[in-house]
Amino acid sequence: MTRTTIPATLLATALGLGAATGVTAQGVVDTDGDGAYSLEEMTAAYPDMTEATFMTLDTDGSGTIDEAELTAGQEAGLIPAG
């Protein structure tokens, strides 16, 4: 029997989560489809996420984390890389 690894985006698409929910390689799911990640969405992917860390990641003060902020947070070691 051969094991096959299915990338998260392919799996999400197969499950009907696709682009509307924006699954990242890091496992964060944009459940409301707004193109950014709320504190609740980030906490679902990173259970140890604190509001203080979220606010540090939110460098533009929008109240959400975009892909650039997510990547910058990973590069800075604030959250685990995917």
Q: pLDDT tens string for the chain (82 positions)?
A: 444 444 444 333 334 444 445 656 568 899 999 999 999 999 999 999 999 999 999 999 999 999 999 999 999 999 988 6
Please state the length of the chain: 82
> What is the DSSP-derived secondary structure letter of residue 4?
-
pLDDT of 81 reads: 81
Tally of helices (H runs) and strands (E runs) in the chain: 5, 0
Which positions ≥6 away from 70 have C-beta within 8 Å? 24, 26, 28, 37, 57, 79
Q: What is the pTM of this model?
A: 0.69
Q: Domains of the chain (ranges plus CATH)?
A: 8-75 (1.10.238)
Spatial contact of 24 and 36, defined as CB atoms under 8 Å apart: no
What's the N-to-C CA distance of the chain in angstroms?
Answer: 28
